[in-house]
Structure 1
Amino acid sequence: MNYRHAFHAGNFADVLKHVVLALVVRHLNGKDKPWGYLDTHAGVGIYDLAGDEAGRTGEWRNGVGRLSGVTLGEASEAVLAPWRETLASLKSEGETLYPGSPEIVRRLARSEDRLRLCEKHPRDAAALAAVMRRDKRVKVVEIDGWAALNGWLPPRERRGLVLIDPPFEETGELTRMAEAFLAAHKVWPTGIFALWRPIKSKAENAAFLRTLAGSGVSKLLNVELLAREPGDPKMLAGSGLVLANPPWTLAEELAAGLPNIAHALSQGPGARAVVEPLSAQ
């Protein structure tokens, strides 16, 4: 289930992850108290959609490309608004640039908020550090994000968000993510966690959700955006996020806004949005 991100930047799977991430940050900004953000697999921060990797696949055309210049209705645009804000602010620096998760959060963060970004690969960590070098709110660490989870939680702010977004270069990453999340949740049970995954296999996706639903953790929300019906285990059909302790109106907002977004990103039969509780809310 290899998912090397530079080749897929801005695709329909990114759209779900980044739209929901930006919306959660907007909710965090609704309170005066500062928040902390931990990104376990941060990547390089900014991607050039005209670059070699993204240009080779052209996947962004069926993701961010389809939503550019399109208005989808009030509920969908309310969901898309914080994400669109980050795209617009970055466009002034380059027409073909696309923000990854750390850059989206950085652009929405306030002066009192704090970001800690983990990246294991030396070259990517150096690139990320260069992007973030002038922002004192941000700390980039060359470290395996799996190792950072328990050691860095809870943040000193006592509120905030953890994004767990591994590259899925190894088998068993879904199992590892579930186990890592459950351990981290014990350390910080009140934090917001977002667990992102690609969806290819129906069976593998269902098994992951059963594990979390049966874990005893409360306030879990499953959100999925499928561009097509899952079938071929080698083909990306969609992506999903499981959120722990989601902002209290998030499910309602996504249920109203995501269906039109899924329709706009459809690549075949079975395209749809899923917003469902996995445990008592």
Structure 2
Amino acid sequence: MLAYRHAFHAGNHADVLKHLVLTQVLRYMGEKEKPYTLVDTHAGAGGYSIEGRYAQKKGEYSSGVARLYDAKDLPAPLANYVDLVRQFNTDGQLRQYPGSPAIANLLMREQDRLRCYELHPTDFRILDTYLSTRPNTQASDKDGFASLKGELPPPSRRGVVLMDPPYEIKTDYAKVLAALREGLQRFPDCVFMIWYPQLALLESTQLAQRLKASADAAAKKGWLHVRLTVDQPDERGFGMLGSGMFIANPPFTLHDDLQACLPYLVEKLGQYDGANFVLEQRAV
């Protein structure tokens, strides 16, 4: 697990979907005066160099955020997200990509609490330095799954949790499911955002249905599921086809926000003729 470095994948199609959702959720949470808490269980380094050797090795950003960065016809929610990426690049050129802690830092107010967990020692040091001056913030090198119990419910009773483990070991799928179930038991109003890769693995293909069942039983405001498929399997049937986000207790505005963006993302990020999206919700 500690071998994983998100820098290899920074700004790819999966980051676009994940951070589009994160942006819209945090913008919604910030509309009310009462503060909220964001818990990021797998925070990474906070930000990544697009020009660095990790990102350049596969150049995944070139078929992700780079296809949107200079676009003039972005739907409004996508424009919100790309504007944050621009803010992270002070000279206007796409040189850096903001991870979820950086997007949170750009959107959250001083009174909002940020709790970030990252086990990789190098990424943690970068993250800790990046967030060192932000008020009401803690970065920890402890296990995010194990620490979630102590974070919920937060003092203000307004909370968001982002879970996006690397899924390099299959037990991450079970841990995500268990964390959602326990989290909803402790705090049924919490907004949970769970990212997952679209792979030709049983654990990946079954995860969304299992998350739906858990949210059906405990989430006060229902759930939303979005999946963006951009590629097809290789000749051996392997490869990352796309990714999905499952949101328990989503903002009521999120479905329409995503509906406005997903056809555009299929057109811009799709890498074969069968690129497609799924958007479904159960509202309560």
Taking structure 1 as the reference length, the TM-score comes to 0.92
- For structure 1, which segment, 202-211 or 260-269, has the greater mean C-alpha deviation from structure 2 after superposition? 202-211
Counterpart in 2 of 1:108?
A: 107
Gaps of 5+ in 2: none
- For the 8 Å contact 2:197–2:244, the answer to whether it is kept is yes
Gaps of 5+ in 1: none
Alignment of 1:22-41 (within 5 A): 22-41=23-42
CA 1:162 to 1:169, structure 2 compared with 1: closer, same or farther past 3 Å? same
Deviation at 1:233, TM superposition (A): 5.3
Deviation at 1:269, TM superposition (A): 2.8
Deviation at 1:55, TM superposition (A): 0.7
Taking structure 2 as the reference length, the TM-score comes to 0.91
Pair 1:252 & 2:253 matched:
no
CA 1:259 to 1:203, structure 2 compared with 1: closer, same or farther past 3 Å? farther
Aligned partner letter, 1:142: D
Aligned partner letter, 1:18: H
Counterpart in 2 of 1:91?
A: 89
Pair 1:227 & 2:225 matched:
no
Match of 2:218, SS state, is coil
Alignment of 1:119-138 (within 5 A): 119-138=118-137
CA 1:247 to 1:113, structure 2 compared with 1: closer, same or farther past 3 Å? same
Match of 1:162, SS state, is strand
Alignment of 1:55-204 (within 5 A): 55-73=56-74, 77-92=75-90, 95=93, 96-201=95-200, 203-204=202-203
Aligned length: 277
**Residue by residue, what CA displacement relative to the aligned partner does 1:199-225 show, whole Å, maximum 9, x if unpaired?**
112744331122122232341110111
Distance 2:31 2:229 in 1: 30
Deviation at 1:190, TM superposition (A): 0.2
Deviation at 1:156, TM superposition (A): 1.1
Percent identity, aligned pairs only, is: 39
**Residue by residue, what CA displacement relative to the aligned partner does 1:55-75 show, whole Å, maximum 9, x if unpaired?**
1110000000111111335xx
Deviation at 1:122, TM superposition (A): 1.9
Alignment of 1:9-20 (within 5 A): 9-20=10-21
**Residue by residue, what CA displacement relative to the aligned partner does 1:136-193 show, whole Å, maximum 9, x if unpaired?**
2321111010111111111112112100111222123222211111111111110100
- For the 8 Å contact 1:72–1:261, the answer to whether it is kept is no
Alignment of 1:36-47 (within 5 A): 36-47=37-48
- For structure 1, which segment, 204-213 or 120-129, has the greater mean C-alpha deviation from structure 2 after superposition? 204-213
Pair 1:272 & 2:276 matched:
yes
- For the 8 Å contact 2:110–2:135, the answer to whether it is kept is no
Alpha carbon RMSD of aligned pairs, Å? Answer: 2.0
- For the 8 Å contact 1:202–1:230, the answer to whether it is kept is no
**Residue by residue, what CA displacement relative to the aligned partner does 1:96-118 show, whole Å, maximum 9, x if unpaired?**
01100011011111121110101
Distance 1:205 1:93 in 2: 39
Distance 1:255 1:173 in 2: 29
